């Protein structure tokens, strides 16, 4: 069962990476990075690094907000 979850998480990371590579819109790239983050978190937790996962759970949304503000400034 654990192997299946790990394979699904790795597949999700791969799909997010491919999606980010082909996306042209900055907002679409943010969605792809969110998909990558969603696949990475269970892998980090499975290795036992819960403290790192907690730090990433705070850092990823904050960086997304900053990137969205930069994208908005670039549109003006």
Stretch 2-7: mean pLDDT = 88
Stretch 49-64: mean pLDDT = 88
Question: What pLDDT does 68 receive?
Answer: 78
pTM beyond 0.85, yes or no: no
Q: Quick check: 67 and 29 in contact, CB under 8 A?
A: no
- 76 pLDDT higher than 60: no
Q: Which domain holds residue 63?
A: 2-75
Nearest to 36 by CA among 55, 64, 74: 64
Provide the number of structural domains found in the chain. 1
**Residue bearing tokens 């819960």:** 50
pLDDT tens track for 15-34: 999 998 998 887 888 888 88
Nearest to 40 by CA among 8, 72, 68: 8
Nearest to 33 by CA among 66, 2, 6: 66
- CA 44 from centre of chain: 12
């Amino acid at each position: 069962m654990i192997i299946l979850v790990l394979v699904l998480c790795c597949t999700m990371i791969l799909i997010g990476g491919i999606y980010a590579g082909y996306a042209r819109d900055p907002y679409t790239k943010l969605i792809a990075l969110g998909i990558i983050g969603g696949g990475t978190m269970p892998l980090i937790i499975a290795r036992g690094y819960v403290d790192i996962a907690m730090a990433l759970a705070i850092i990823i949304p904050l960086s997304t907000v900053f990137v969205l503000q930069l994208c908005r400034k670039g549109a003006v």
